[in-house]
Structure 1
């Protein structure tokens, strides 16, 4: 990443089938030290392999210029084959559970 990078309003997330997984998307203003003043946000993604469900958690935190709404294009990668099933969601900061 770099400070003049374009906003990620349309982000592709790849989910690898075979085991449960989790990651946190961290974002801040990218051009200062305001993260030290807790000016950042996180979104937790959790994959339940048995149920084939991805949970996109509530956004925690905020910062100047933060996207309030964005699109996640979720692609399921199974048996090492790409691309797999996919689904797009519009995310506004609230929990979404999606079945793939």
Structure 2
């Protein structure tokens, strides 16, 4: 069972090529309303389909108890095959 306040250090990201795409990972403390005062962080992910690259931008913001590093397990489906890579992210591009 997972809890809202549980800190996780591994995120699985799956990319299915065919078009450019992006999303933003939002995180906060999970147990209060401090996000209303800007106490949260975001990380933007951008997939460029032409170059087949995933760009993970610098983390923006911070909050108490935020993990300094985490692992991203990235899977890209290309020509019927899976390319998998695990990276350690420290908040910088």
Q: TM-score, normalised by structure 2?
A: 0.90
Q: How many correspondences in the alignment?
A: 92
Aligned to 1:77: 77
Aligned to 1:98: none
Matches for 1:1-100 after TM superposition, within 5 Å: 2-4=3-5, 6-78=6-78, 84-95=82-93
Cα RMSD after superposing both structures: 1.6
SS of the residue corresponding to residue 36 of structure 1 reads: helix
Quote how far apart the aligned CAs of 1:8 are.
Answer: 2.1
Cα distance in 2 between the residues matched to 1:40 and 1:54? 23
Structure 1 residue ranges without an equivalent (≥5) = 96-100
Quote how far apart the aligned CAs of 1:77 are.
Answer: 2.5
